[in-house]
Structures are given as C-alpha cells and as structure tokens.
Amino acid sequence: MFCLACVSEIPAHALVDSGATTNFLDQAFAAHFDVPLDPVDPPMTVETIDGRKLIAGPIKFATQPLCLTIGAHEEAIRFYGTADLHFPLVLGKAWLRTHDPQVAWSWNAISFLSLQCIDYIRHTCAGQEVSTLAISIPPELTDFADVFSEKEVDRLPPHRPYDCPVDLLPNVLLPRGRLYSMSEPELAALWDFLDKNLARGFIQPLSSPLSSSPLHQEDGGLTLCRITTPCRSFRS
C-alpha cells in the first residue's frame, strides 16, 4: 500500500512494502529536490524477491536522518538512495517492525497507536539531529520566507478587528453535494487533508448535506481544492 507523506517538508508518496528489508529513496527525487546523499562504504548489494541482483546496481548512497511526516506522525529516518523506483519513498520491513502501524485497508490509511511507536518517536526525535532542507525561494520573496514554513501554517492567523459577513440571499435553495466514487490516491489525499486539518483545528466534523466537490490541481496534484464559484450566486 502507499500513503501520503512529507520528507523534510517535501510532499511525496511513500510505498509501504513488507518485502523491502529497509527504507529507500528514489535518486531522481533526491536530485530534483536537492536532497543531499552521502556515500555508502562499502556499497550495499540488494536482491529482488526472486533472488536477482537489483537492476540499478548496489546501493552507493544514503541520506542523513530526515524528518518524515505521515499525518500527525513525525520521526527522524535515514533512506538508502536507489534508481528506478516507482515511488519517491519506500518504507520497508524494518520500519514496519519499529512502528507496528495499524492499517485501515478500506480507505488506505495508516495509524500509529502502539506504545512502542510513541516511545520510539519520543526518544528518536529527542536524540537525533534532523536535517531540514531549505525550500528554494526566489530572491525577491526572501522577506516572506515565513509564509512557506510548514510549522507556521499549523496555526490560524491572529484575529483582526474586521469581520466581513457573508450574507446569503433570502429563501435561496442551496446546492446539495453529490456522491461519486474516488480512486485510492484521491481517497488517500482526502483523508490526509481531513486528518491534518482536524488535528490543527482548522475544520470541524459536520453532517450538513451542503458541500462542494474536491478538484484536481492544474498541475495534476492531489492537494484538496474546493469549488466556491457556485456559492457566489447565492450571496447578497
């Protein structure tokens, strides 16, 4: 199965694979986001499930401990770099044994509830220095670097003295949301959005039949976007 994750604040899909002995990071992903890789001496030989040597060859590079975030779960983790992975990240058997996560197969979600996991995270994050990659910001925007901080977006902005009302037209019939099927990646993106924003306090559970549909981003990404255009026709 796969899950949505962030490695050093970079969003990425991670394949959870009990057949992989350790944790891997795609070298093309590392090159694209300037993730530093250190030499592995001696190189590590990897075999596929049928006993053949990995086509990409021995593992020659590895990362320093990076900050991996899955939902509210955060840890320091080291990845081995290899080529031709179908996912940016692979979390293997060693990671599964360490955290013993609970998997909800019906909506492709992972929960970290074991005491071993909580204890491990507390000791690991306290005892290791985690590398945080600098986000590439154009020079003309460096004065606004805090806008791009993942930690800063976990807090709502301070209240202002202005409160602009959103008044609806009287007796207007508001549109109801429609049910439709979603793919596994879409469901994973939706649940990731809900889990993060419920934990932040940005949203609350609601049973109202009124809703808007999530949309794809223009670049094909799966960050949740919502339709607001139809609502404008009901405002005074």
DSSP conformation letters of 12-49? EEEEE-TT-SS-EEEHHHHHHTT---EEEEEEEP-B-T
Q: What is the CATH number of the domain that holds 114?
A: 2.40.70.10
- Give residue 24's pLDDT band: very low, low, confident or very high (50, 70, 90): very high
d(CA 154, CA 139): 25
The domain containing residue 65 runs over which residues? 2-119
Domain finish residue from 119, 141, 171? 119
Judge whether 165 lies within some domain: no
Same domain, 25 and 101: yes
The pLDDT, as a whole number, for residue 25 is 93
Q: Are 102 and 113 in contact (CB under 8 A)?
A: yes
Other Cβ atoms within 10 Å of 25 Cβ, number: 27
As for how many domains the chain has, the answer is 2
d(CA 122, CA 41): 30
Our measurement of the distance from residue 178's CA atom to the centroid of its chain's CA atoms, rounded to an integer in Å, reads 27
> Could you report the per-residue pLDDT of 132-160, keeping only the tens digit for each?
444 456 667 767 766 666 666 677 777 77
Judge whether 223 lies within some domain: yes
Report the phi/psi class of residue 21: left, alpha or beta, with left for phi > 0 and alpha for psi in -120 to 50. alpha
Same domain, 113 and 193: no
> Could you report the per-residue pLDDT of 222-236, keeping only the tens digit for each?
666 665 555 555 655
> Could you report the per-residue pLDDT of 50-103, keeping only the tens digit for each?
666 777 778 899 999 999 998 878 889 999 998 888 889 999 988 998 888 888
